[in-house]
Amino acid sequence: MELREETRDKAILLIDKLYNENDLRDEDLLWLLDNMNKKEKEYMFSLSKKTRDKYYGKNVYLRSLIEFTNYCKRECIYCGINAYNKKANRYRLTKEEIVEACKNGKSLGYNTFVLQGGEDPYFTDEKMCEIIKEIKRIDPNCAITLSMGERSYESYKALKDSGADRYLLRHETSNPDYYKWLHPKSVLDTRVECIKNLKKLGFQTGTGIMVGLPGYTNKDYVRDLRFIKTISPEMVGLGPFITHKDTEMREYKSGDIDTTLTILSMVRLLLPKVLLPATTALASIAENGRKAGLDVGSNVIMPNLTPVEYRGDYMLYNSKKSSGSESAQALNMIKNELDSFGYICNMSRGDSKMCVE
Ligand code: SF4
């Protein structure tokens, strides 16, 4: 009995230390992951929410997501649009369609456009730079986020020089052996180098992981948390692993919401000013997934403004949540929903407080 009380005291002590110092020794993070009970997790969630409120208030930043190509040369074994999935219905948006989607987003009030795609060699630097410049012509003050995988330093530089502001490149796992299994023909070191190059070039950089990968251990999560803390990205995209029926990981179990919320909460506490989306994957595994993410400290959502005719083909995993967010009516629904949760829909550029202060 006494020992149990000591354990409970230790949990609260460590959670408070994480909240106050925004860091913990690796062994303490591991101890928390191994030992926290439901009540203690709820306590940690309340502190990560409080941390988000301290820097961002109740603001939830809306980004318009445009999935512009589902061609991909890579073979990530968990992904529904990897190169070897012959069943995927491939599409590419034209430059005009991408720009039109951004114009539509701008008319709805969006000020950040996230261009996300597979690693598609069709989109050369020349084509991408043209697209970026064209979007900036709609509004020079808007923010452009790119998420299109690994490229050379020179390529990232060209994209930056053309006006791209942010780049998302999740590392997915910082366990090198696990990374190799998930990404045949790729190595973690290359990924990390790309992330460092993006930082060096002045991109607001995002990285992140999948939570609930088969056989993943709490030690792996601690390694990921330490990696994220050390890299200190402006954004962290973090969602549950969800299986896709046409991949070799189809038989595995998907990640669960509880573990995802726990890791989200710890990221917020380790990096208090980070921009932390409540991801579509999170919304896809549980009815209340998005709200639950916001309630542990997330502060970004990315409504999908990809033209409707392509949207069903960007299937990285099964049961991906989708809605007709391209209309003013749908946007009002999002605003009303956020309002009912007690949050404020913020459609400004929403730069990370890590770079504006
Ligand atoms: S996860 Fe990204 S890089 Fe990997 S196959 Fe899917 S789209 Fe391509």
69 in ligand 1 pocket by Cβ < 6 Å?
Answer: no
79 in ligand 1 pocket by Cβ < 6 Å?
Answer: yes
| Distance in Å, CA 128 to ligand 1 centroid | 18
| Distance in Å, CA 167 to ligand 1 centroid | 15
The Cα 78–Cα 254 span in angstroms is 11
267 in ligand 1 pocket by Cβ < 6 Å?
Answer: no
| Distance in Å, CA 28 to ligand 1 centroid | 34
Choose the residue to mutate in 79, 120, 186 for probing ligand 1, maximizing ligand atoms within 8 Å of C-beta: 79
Strand 166-168 and strand 143-147: pairing? parallel
**Quick one: pLDDT at residue 331?**
87
| Distance in Å, CA 351 to ligand 1 centroid | 26
82 in ligand 1 pocket by Cβ < 6 Å?
Answer: yes
| Distance in Å, CA 271 to ligand 1 centroid | 26
Determine which residue's CA is closest to atom 7 belonging to ligand 1: 118
The Cα 83–Cα 118 span in angstroms is 9
Residue 209 is classified by DSSP as B
Q: Give the list of residues 6+ apart from residue 157 with CB closer than 8 angstroms, or none.
A: 201
Strand 112-117 and strand 64-69: pairing? parallel
240 in ligand 1 pocket by Cβ < 6 Å?
Answer: no
90 in ligand 1 pocket by Cβ < 6 Å?
Answer: no
Determine which residue's CA is closest to atom 4 belonging to ligand 1: 76
Q: Give the list of residues 6+ apart from residue 186 with CB closer than 8 angstroms, or none.
A: 74, 150, 179, 180
**Quick one: pLDDT at residue 310?**
80
Can you point out the beta strands (E) in the chain?
59-62, 64-69, 112-117, 143-147, 166-168, 204-207, 210-211, 235-236, 239-240, 300-301, 344-346
**Quick one: pLDDT at residue 3?**
58
Choose the residue to mutate in 67, 73, 74 for probing ligand 1, maximizing ligand atoms within 8 Å of C-beta: 74
Choose the residue to mutate in 71, 75, 76, 179 for probing ligand 1, maximizing ligand atoms within 8 Å of C-beta: 76
182 in ligand 1 pocket by Cβ < 6 Å?
Answer: no
| Distance in Å, CA 315 to ligand 1 centroid | 11
315 in ligand 1 pocket by Cβ < 6 Å?
Answer: no
Choose the residue to mutate in 70, 72, 180, 194 for probing ligand 1, maximizing ligand atoms within 8 Å of C-beta: 72
**Quick one: pLDDT at residue 322?**
58
Q: Which residues of the chain have pLDDT under 50?
A: 1-2
By C-alpha distance, which of 242, 190, 181, 237 is closest to 212? 242
The answer to whether the CB of 315 falls within 8 A of the CB of 198 is no
**Quick one: pLDDT at residue 319?**
62
pTM as predicted? 0.94
**Quick one: pLDDT at residue 2?**
47
The residue whose two tokens read 């007690």 is 342
The Cα 316–Cα 267 span in angstroms is 24
The answer to whether the CB of 173 falls within 8 A of the CB of 220 is yes
Structure tokens at 349: 């550029």
74 in ligand 1 pocket by Cβ < 6 Å?
Answer: yes
Can you point out the beta strands (E) in 272-317?
300-301
The Cα 261–Cα 278 span in angstroms is 10
